[in-house]
Amino acid sequence: MKPRDIAQKIGSAKIENMVDELNSGQFKRILIAGDVSTRIPSSVLSLKARSRLWKDRLLDGLSTGNDNVASALIYEWLLGRRRAMLEKYLDLLEVKHRRGETDETFLKTIPEETLRAKAHELAKDYPAQDVAIYVHFLDHHQHAEAFMLEPAFIEMLAPQAG
Protein backbone atom coordinates (compact mmCIF):
# COMPACT_ATOMS: atom_id res chain seq x y z
CA MET A 1 0.00 0.00 0.00
CA LYS A 2 1.47 3.32 -1.06
CA PRO A 3 1.90 6.07 1.55
CA ARG A 4 -0.78 8.22 -0.13
CA ASP A 5 -3.21 5.28 0.22
CA ILE A 6 -2.32 4.94 3.90
CA ALA A 7 -2.94 8.68 4.34
CA GLN A 8 -6.29 8.40 2.60
CA LYS A 9 -7.42 5.43 4.69
CA ILE A 10 -6.54 6.95 8.07
CA GLY A 11 -8.74 9.97 7.45
CA SER A 12 -8.35 13.72 7.65
CA ALA A 13 -8.63 13.98 11.45
CA LYS A 14 -5.63 11.70 11.98
CA ILE A 15 -3.67 13.52 9.27
CA GLU A 16 -4.41 16.85 10.99
CA ASN A 17 -3.25 15.40 14.33
CA MET A 18 -0.05 14.07 12.75
CA VAL A 19 0.67 17.39 11.05
CA ASP A 20 0.01 19.31 14.27
CA GLU A 21 2.78 17.29 15.97
CA LEU A 22 5.43 18.43 13.46
CA ASN A 23 8.14 20.98 14.12
CA SER A 24 9.48 23.44 11.54
CA GLY A 25 12.40 21.20 10.55
CA GLN A 26 10.04 18.31 9.87
CA PHE A 27 7.70 20.54 7.85
CA LYS A 28 10.61 21.64 5.67
CA ARG A 29 11.91 18.09 5.11
CA ILE A 30 8.43 16.87 4.13
CA LEU A 31 7.76 19.74 1.74
CA ILE A 32 11.21 19.45 0.15
CA ALA A 33 10.72 15.68 -0.30
CA GLY A 34 7.46 16.40 -2.12
CA ASP A 35 9.03 19.16 -4.24
CA VAL A 36 6.73 21.71 -2.58
CA SER A 37 8.00 25.22 -1.90
CA THR A 38 9.09 26.04 1.64
CA ARG A 39 9.52 29.72 0.79
CA ILE A 40 7.65 32.06 3.10
CA PRO A 41 6.54 35.52 1.94
CA SER A 42 8.34 38.32 3.78
CA SER A 43 4.98 39.53 5.07
CA VAL A 44 4.65 36.35 7.19
CA LEU A 45 6.43 37.11 10.44
CA SER A 46 5.05 34.87 13.15
CA LEU A 47 5.96 31.23 13.68
CA LYS A 48 2.25 30.42 13.93
CA ALA A 49 1.51 31.97 10.52
CA ARG A 50 4.52 30.24 8.97
CA SER A 51 3.42 26.89 10.39
CA ARG A 52 -0.12 27.45 9.08
CA LEU A 53 1.22 28.19 5.60
CA TRP A 54 3.42 25.06 5.63
CA LYS A 55 0.54 22.98 6.98
CA ASP A 56 -1.74 24.18 4.17
CA ARG A 57 0.91 23.32 1.58
CA LEU A 58 1.46 19.89 3.10
CA LEU A 59 -2.27 19.13 3.21
CA ASP A 60 -2.63 20.36 -0.37
CA GLY A 61 0.17 18.00 -1.40
CA LEU A 62 -1.66 15.11 0.23
CA SER A 63 -4.99 16.03 -1.35
CA THR A 64 -3.39 16.04 -4.81
CA GLY A 65 -1.90 12.57 -4.24
CA ASN A 66 1.74 13.60 -3.80
CA ASP A 67 3.19 10.25 -2.68
CA ASN A 68 6.48 11.86 -1.65
CA VAL A 69 4.68 14.21 0.75
CA ALA A 70 2.69 11.29 2.19
CA SER A 71 5.80 9.14 2.56
CA ALA A 72 7.83 11.91 4.19
CA LEU A 73 4.96 12.80 6.53
CA ILE A 74 4.59 9.23 7.76
CA TYR A 75 8.36 8.80 8.06
CA GLU A 76 8.87 12.04 10.01
CA TRP A 77 5.89 11.36 12.26
CA LEU A 78 6.97 7.81 13.04
CA LEU A 79 10.58 8.72 13.80
CA GLY A 80 9.80 12.00 15.50
CA ARG A 81 6.73 11.06 17.51
CA ARG A 82 6.40 7.25 17.63
CA ARG A 83 10.00 6.12 17.96
CA ALA A 84 9.31 4.12 21.15
CA MET A 85 6.69 2.10 19.25
CA LEU A 86 9.18 1.34 16.46
CA GLU A 87 11.80 0.29 19.01
CA LYS A 88 9.38 -2.01 20.81
CA TYR A 89 8.24 -3.74 17.61
CA LEU A 90 11.81 -4.37 16.49
CA ASP A 91 12.68 -5.62 19.98
CA LEU A 92 9.69 -7.99 19.93
CA LEU A 93 10.96 -9.36 16.62
CA GLU A 94 14.57 -9.44 17.88
CA VAL A 95 15.70 -7.27 14.96
CA LYS A 96 18.88 -5.27 15.51
CA HIS A 97 18.20 -1.55 15.35
CA ARG A 98 19.46 1.88 16.31
CA ARG A 99 16.69 3.65 18.20
CA GLY A 100 13.96 2.14 16.01
CA GLU A 101 15.83 2.38 12.72
CA THR A 102 17.25 -0.62 10.87
CA ASP A 103 18.64 -1.47 7.47
CA GLU A 104 17.44 -5.07 7.72
CA THR A 105 14.67 -6.18 5.36
CA PHE A 106 13.17 -8.31 8.10
CA LEU A 107 9.70 -8.50 6.52
CA LYS A 108 11.23 -10.91 4.01
CA THR A 109 13.11 -13.06 6.54
CA ILE A 110 10.69 -13.38 9.46
CA PRO A 111 7.55 -15.51 8.92
CA GLU A 112 4.46 -13.38 8.21
CA GLU A 113 2.54 -15.06 11.04
CA THR A 114 5.21 -13.89 13.49
CA LEU A 115 5.23 -10.37 12.06
CA ARG A 116 1.45 -10.13 12.43
CA ALA A 117 1.36 -11.69 15.90
CA LYS A 118 3.99 -9.25 17.19
CA ALA A 119 2.15 -6.33 15.56
CA HIS A 120 -1.05 -7.40 17.36
CA GLU A 121 0.96 -7.58 20.58
CA LEU A 122 2.29 -4.08 19.90
CA ALA A 123 -1.30 -2.84 19.46
CA LYS A 124 -1.97 -3.73 23.10
CA ASP A 125 0.45 -0.98 24.16
CA TYR A 126 -0.02 1.57 21.37
CA PRO A 127 -3.04 2.84 19.41
CA ALA A 128 -4.02 0.22 16.83
CA GLN A 129 -4.21 2.83 14.08
CA ASP A 130 -0.64 3.98 14.80
CA VAL A 131 0.56 0.37 14.65
CA ALA A 132 -1.27 -0.14 11.35
CA ILE A 133 0.28 3.01 9.86
CA TYR A 134 3.72 1.71 10.84
CA VAL A 135 3.35 -1.84 9.53
CA HIS A 136 1.78 -0.74 6.23
CA PHE A 137 4.60 1.78 5.82
CA LEU A 138 7.10 -1.02 6.48
CA ASP A 139 5.34 -3.19 3.88
CA HIS A 140 5.70 -0.43 1.31
CA HIS A 141 9.35 0.33 2.03
CA GLN A 142 10.45 -3.29 2.20
CA HIS A 143 8.44 -4.24 -0.91
CA ALA A 144 6.50 -6.83 1.09
CA GLU A 145 2.88 -7.80 1.57
CA ALA A 146 2.93 -9.10 5.13
CA PHE A 147 0.17 -6.70 6.22
CA MET A 148 -1.36 -5.37 3.01
CA LEU A 149 -3.51 -8.44 2.42
CA GLU A 150 -4.43 -9.00 6.07
CA PRO A 151 -7.97 -7.64 6.74
CA ALA A 152 -7.35 -6.92 10.43
CA PHE A 153 -4.50 -4.52 9.63
CA ILE A 154 -6.49 -2.81 6.89
CA GLU A 155 -9.38 -2.31 9.33
CA MET A 156 -6.97 -0.90 11.93
CA LEU A 157 -6.15 1.95 9.52
CA ALA A 158 -9.73 3.23 9.55
CA PRO A 159 -10.50 6.41 11.50
CA GLN A 160 -11.06 5.64 15.16
CA ALA A 161 -14.47 6.29 16.69
CA GLY A 162 -14.61 8.84 19.45
Q: Which residue has the higher pLDDT, 110 or 52?
A: 110
Does pLDDT of 162 surpass 80? no
- Whole-model pTM: value is 0.93
Percent of the chain with pLDDT over 90: 88
* Assigned domain for 142 exists: yes
Q: Report helix, strand and coil shares of the chain as percent, to nearest 5.
A: 65, 0, 35
Amino acid identity of residue 111, one-letter, is P
- C-alpha angle 137-88-2 in degrees, rounded to nearest 5: 0
**Number of other residues whose CB lies within 10 A of the CB of residue 86:** 20
Residues spanned by the domain of 20 = 3-80
Last residue within a domain, chosen from 61, 80, 99: 80
Q: Do 106 and 93 touch, CB atoms closer than 8 A?
A: yes
φ and ψ at 57, to 5 degrees? -65, -40
Last residue within a domain, chosen from 20, 53, 80: 80
Whether residues 135 and 66 fall in one domain: no
φ and ψ at 98, to 5 degrees? -120, 100
Whether residues 94 and 105 fall in one domain: yes
Quick: pLDDT tens for 1-58.
Answer: 999 999 999 999 999 999 999 998 999 999 999 999 989 888 888 888 888 999 999 9
pLDDT band at 86, cuts 50/70/90?
very high
Which alpha helices (DSSP H) does 21-66 contain, by range? 24-33, 47-63
On the CB side of 73, how many CA atoms lie within 13 Å of its CA?
Answer: 34
